[in-house]
Homo-oligomer: A and B are copies of this chain.
Amino acid sequence: MMTTITMIPLEDFERVRKAELETNKRLDLLADMCRANALAAVKQAGSGHLGSSFSAMDIVVRLYYEEMNVPSVGLDHPDRDVYFSSKGHDVPGLYSVLFSLGLLSEEKFFKLRRFGGLDGHPDIACPGVEANSGSLGMGISKGRGIAWAKRYLRRGGRVFVMTGDGELQEGQNFEALQSAVQQGIGNLTVIVDHNKVQSDREVSRIVSLHDLKAKLAAFGWHVARCDGHDQEALARVFDQFRQIEDTPKILIADTVKGRGVSFMEHPRALQEGGGFYRWHAGAPPDGEFMEAHGEIVARINRRLAAHGLDFITLKEVPPPRKPEPFYTLEGEPESTIEKEPRFKVTDEYVSAVYGESLMDVAGRRDDVVVLDADLAADCKVRTFELTYPDRFIENGIAEQDMVSMAGGLARQGLLPVVNSFASFLASRANEQIYNNAGEQTKIIYACHYAGLIPAGPGKSHQSLRDISLFGALPNCEILQPCNGEETRMVVDYAVDVARENVMIRLIIGPSPREIRLPPGYKLKKGRGVTLADGDDAVLFAYGPVMIHEAMLASELLARKGTGLRVVNSPWLNRMDREWMMEQIRPFKHIFVVEDHAPVGGFGDFLLNELIGAGGLRSRSFAKFAVEGYPACGTPAEALRFHSLDGASLADRVLSGIRSGPAA
């Protein structure tokens, strides 16, 4: 039976706003009402971040209802106050507040993480969102830019930036703290949502913030600290901040992660989770959802009654989307909500097999050291962490530091395996990677969550440039395995055989289908393997997502009498030309499908190799890639939008065969 999801309609918010109530009590009520709706939206979307949406909610509500002029001047006024959250993943809370003010339609609000709806991380395409975020640590800098521009343009309005506490591990924050003081950016206020839990662990256990108040004061900021759930205390701080015009101001708001739902609140939730916080990301299962929603609604109604007001009404929202046909497993990366892993370590789950393979490697080589930047669960290195704590290095959310540290480890002869999401590792620590590579040591970079899918979190997380970001390094091999079996081979190769740096590219979700390699298949440098055969054209592909679509295209074309060979090509920048020529020999048409942008990916590499080997004489070549910014939505929505789903690929291949000019 499907759980019924209900939300509090706009009319109830309008009623509470107009009711005769003491301001702070009204804000308490509104915050809980916004919590209920954020919970409903996340449940309906099937994923999203509740823990920090809830910890920040009282502050966001205070800002929008009392501090900021946005409700009166509107979202487009040049003198408007500006608020955005640097941590970004707490955007369900912001959406909920915008909805409560009539600034976001109900239809949009309940299209969270769907194509044409709301991105899983903030994007300015949504009116009311002032900055794109999702990748951490950029907010104070960007807020400083907005504030500087307001001053230069003689515009009114103040700038408020919310940050997480774990987020403060990113060094960019400290750059911004310095420059904001130097430039006297007095119209900038930062609020640290200090809920003490980052992702699924305590901040103090990951990388402590130490004496945060002293630290911030030493940077020259005006610092205040108060209970971030106490509206009276918040009012006092903001009143005081309003008087200080020449110095940037920062509030350390002591908050509780998961605030408002008893079993989601830290520290209880952390204790019940055996030291791991379950409610950072992901939609709660049905039972927990009902319990949480019920608890919030009951509290709201109790308070309404105490103030002599009517209960809220609850309106049913459309049921959550069903899993899509070829994504029978949920492909979302943020799976910390389940006590038990949602997916077993099967051959279809490359990320989990990667984690297992590292364990095997660790058993035989004690020079292998694993580095993490606060994504141990998602990167599947938690088992390693718990089993080999003496050679698991947690660096916090600080990719640059992690990568340069790996460089130092390698200089002493260790073999570091560096883990993070591809977007953050390839891009943020790019120069550090180059610096290490220049030392001719060997480091393995595991780039998780590579590619278009899952597409719910939005463009800050979808990594479609990582091949290009590693590609121009002279001494780095890039490999992407297509299934668990190949993942094992890739890890073993990287650890035991490779002489250069290796970038391992991994999708984070389970595969859309079981991809079987031929019996006896072995990983050979620069070679791949035929997974489906056909007589009319060849399509090179890599990684579980695109190989699935390629196979689907081949199956669809076979029904129409067109034969499409699908070749799995795990080596993204090394090629055995003899093997390549064998693969293309029977064909006039060569295609490649990229789980990457069209520039700087495997397709460009293959094209160079084909040209170098004379392989394009009287053959056509076409590349299907993720053009433009990646779409946010379900896997099917995103693939279809980019014409990379099996059916679209089949059409594109057919049209290429018909019209494709030979090169």
Contacts and interface: CB of A to CB of B under 8 A. Distances in A.
Most buried by B among A171, A219, A468: A171
A573 interface: yes
A617 to B, nearest CB: 6
Interface string A389-429: 01101111010111111111111111010000001100110
A146 interface: yes
A147 interface: yes
Most buried by B among A133, A217, A611, A616: A611
Contact of A142 (B405, B471, B621, B627): B405
Most buried by B among A220, A400, A428, A629: A400
A409 B149 contact: yes
A539 B415 CA distance: 43
Interface in A419-458: 423-424, 427-428, 430-432, 434-435, 438-440
Interface string A10-50: 00000000000000000000000000000000000000000
Given A130-B411, A171-B175, A175-B169, A152 B391 contact: yes
Contact of A614 (B132, B139, B607, B663): B663
A438 B460 CA distance: 9
Contact of A408 (B141, B394, B435, B623): B141
B219 A145 contact: no
Contacts of A170: 171, 175
B218 A214 contact: yes
A645 to B, nearest CB: 20
A54 interface: no
A105 interface: no
A135 interface: yes
A411 B153 contact: no
A7 interface: no
A369 B150 CA distance: 13
A473 interface: yes
Contacts of A581: none
A596 B472 CA distance: 9
Contacts of A144: 401, 405, 408
A124 interface: yes
B171 A173 contact: yes
Given A148-B405, A170-B171, A430-B428, A218 B215 contact: yes
B408 A145 contact: yes
A37 B522 CA distance: 57
Nearest to A209: B178
A91 B219 CA distance: 30
A459 B435 CA distance: 9
A600 B472 contact: yes
A417 to B, nearest CB: 13
A228 interface: no
Interface string A586-601: 0000000000111111
A138 B396 contact: no
Contacts of A215: 215, 218-219
A404 B142 contact: yes
A322 interface: no
Most buried by B among A139, A411, A472, A601: A472
Contact of A607 (B211, B394, B601, B611): B611
A360 to B, nearest CB: 20
A89 interface: no
A463 to B, nearest CB: 10
A328 interface: no
Given A174-B171, A464-B472, A404 B141 contact: yes
A454 B43 CA distance: 57
A573 to B, nearest CB: 7
6 contacts: A124-B440, A174-B174, A176-B404, A474-B627, A474-B628, A617-B661
Interface of A: 123-124, 130-133, 135, 137-139, 141-150, 152-153, 155, 169-176, 178-179, 181-183, 206-211, 214-215, 217-220, 369, 390-391, 393-396, 398, 400-414, 416, 423-424, 427-428, 430-432, 434-435, 438-440, 459-460, 464-465, 468-469, 471-474, 573, 596-601, 604-605, 607-608, 611, 614, 616-617, 621, 623, 627-629, 661-663
Given A146-B412, A172-B432, A428-B431, 18 more contacts: A139-B404, A141-B400, A141-B403, A145-B412, A155-B412, A169-B175, A176-B398, A176-B404, A178-B208, A178-B401, A434-B465, A465-B472, A465-B473, A471-B599, A471-B600, A472-B597, A599-B600, A611-B616
> Closest 10 A-B residue pairs measured CB to CB?
A145-B408, A171-B171, A141-B404, A149-B412, A175-B401, A175-B398, A427-B431, A145-B405, A215-B218, A174-B174
